[in-house]
A and B are shown apart, each in its own frame.
Chain A
């Protein structure tokens, strides 16, 4: 079987570039710094209150949260220039006249960006080893979390590639992706809060769970905390949703397994933006102009 040529070239050239090594190093240093600060604070406090190894599961949560945040910041920087960069370099036309389909080009770009993200995540795995020393988190749980983070990265990557197809300049597509990601992370939370306030002001009762569930369906943060809830036995997500109304029936299941809904939404977003990117990168677009 033949490897996607775009992916093969990207993999070959990206690792020749010192910027990639620099980015991976910064990424690892950042995560390691976070872990170091957590350990230092815990050990310092242990002089007065005693060291509790059970707290180390929170180190896992912090490391995962840092991974998630960094991935959401890094992915647009890597992927938002994938097509517009080809256009700026004047190599896009040469690519479009080949036998590669537009979908193959888009997929090649997405997978190569995800490859670098995966490399960054793998590079931080030794830091997670500290958590395993104290126990409390299983390897399958860690793999599950990495899978969820990569799926979220894929979602951010597909949005990035879509904007990269739309805008001729990489800078504009990067800005647009950050706006959309910011909207998904914080805009949806704000919208949910505004909905609650308006509803309460109008009817003086809880608004119910359906609208918040729908508004937050693409929010990577809520999905992430749902995974953490499932792995560490916390209930951040349930607590948030309880504000809006009583959980019963299917809403109870959805709130308890919100990461499943979030993952499904991510898959839908990926499919939608990849289809749109494939359409927009096609110079003919199936019609005359």
Chain B
């Protein structure tokens, strides 16, 4: 669906996007993660035809974004990170205006707009002035606007920014629904756990380069040399820590009030042997599990832990 090759964008001496390569499959939800200033918005703007690239190519369904931008306007739905609305328009009129910009015939517009407002749960607000809508509603309205011409690819730049938790959940549900409708979605966010839940793949961008890419699990497997194991004893916490220190493949033991976490560099068999050793040392164990990593940890590790 989308193929980016050796994309470079420079602003004078500053390189915002540096030899960026990416492939997004049709029907997937691709999450763009990166610290502020990493080049997410710049890349998305180039994809949407709003910025010229310094070099490199972006192809959507085989069409070049720069050379065939007119053809691609029908295929792309774009929602920027910051956007304004025409406050003196009603919701229905707002949608009608954007339907007009895609030359959708007048007769088809009411049914189309109603169905789009249904998707974003704004049908009850169709006669309200855009000005009177909440931030979350405006975000949803902008999303429905980007769907007005039935695009195949949706480029959504931080669609959940500034939303309260409930509005974020609603936005996630809408995105899942859009995926079932066959849309390919590229979404950026710095709210990382959210992307983990909805994205089929993520790409971590840092200093304009793709630092890591794949499913959350793939990236974690690749990045994590040591697995984090968690053990909860019924009693004898001190003894447990002492035994663990004597075992091979264990580093960074962190003792908490009722459990112990440690980095373990070994196979599953070695982990099971470790558990057997501890039980044979007469330490009663209530639970023993591998701690699941999350996007936040991956993000901090890949980007060096600093939000630029």
A13 and B89 contact, CB distance less than 8 A: yes
A contact residues around B73 at 8 Å (CB): 97-99
- Please indicate the chain B residues that have their CB under 8 angstroms from the CB of A91 in the complex: 83-86
B74 within 8 A of A: yes
B217 close to chain A: CB less than 8 A:
no
The yes or no answer to B145 lying at the interface (CB within 8 A) is: yes
Chain B interface helix/strand/loop/mixed: loop
Verify if B80 is at the interface (C-beta below 8 Å from A): yes
Q: For the complex, give the distance between the alpha carbons of A162 and B156 in Å.
A: 31
Q: Are A2 and B89 in contact (CB under 8 A)?
A: no
Contact assessment for B83 and A94 in the assembled complex, using a CB-CB cutoff below 8 Å: yes
Contact partner, A97, options B55, B66, B76, B93, Cβ 8 Å: B76
> Could you say which of B54, B106, B145 contacts A288, with CB atoms under 8 Å apart?
B54
The answer to whether A141 has its CB under 8 Å from any CB of chain B is no
Q: Which of A12-41 contact B (CB under 8 A)?
A: 12-13, 16-17
Q: Which residues of B contact A139 (CB under 8 A)?
A: none
A93-B80 CB under 8 A given contacts A9-B97, A13-B89: yes
Q: Is A283 an interface residue (CB 8 A)?
A: yes
From B49, B74, B88, A17 is in contact (CB under 8 Å) with B88
Give the contacting residue for A13; candidates B49, B88, B100, B106; CB below 8 A: B88
Given that A2-B106, A89-B84, A91-B86 are contacting pairs, would A283 and B66 also be in contact in the complex, using a CB cutoff of 8 Å?
no
Q: State whether A97 touches B50 (Cβ < 8 A).
A: yes
Chain B neighbourhood of A93, CB < 8 A: 45, 48, 50, 78, 80, 83
Does B52 contact A289, Cβ atoms closer than 8 Å? Answer: yes
The interface size bin for chain A is 20 to 34
Please state if B101 and A288 are interface contacts (CB–CB under 8 Å).
Answer: no
Q: Which residues of A contact B145 (CB under 8 A)?
A: 94
**Contact indicator A90/B83 (Cβ below 8 Å):** yes
With contacts A91-B85, A284-B66, A288-B52 taken as known, whether A100 is within 8 angstroms of B101 at the C-beta atoms is yes
Instruction: Verify if A96 is at the interface (C-beta below 8 Å from B).
Output: yes
A96 & B50 in contact (Cβ 8 Å cutoff): yes
What are 14 pairs between A and B in contact, CB < 8 Å? A2-B100, A5-B97, A13-B86, A16-B88, A90-B82, A93-B78, A94-B78, A94-B98, A94-B142, A97-B49, A98-B102, A283-B51, A288-B52, A288-B66
Residues of B within 8 A of A (CB): 45, 48-55, 66, 69-70, 73-74, 76, 78, 80, 82-86, 88-89, 93, 97-98, 100-103, 105-106, 142, 145, 149
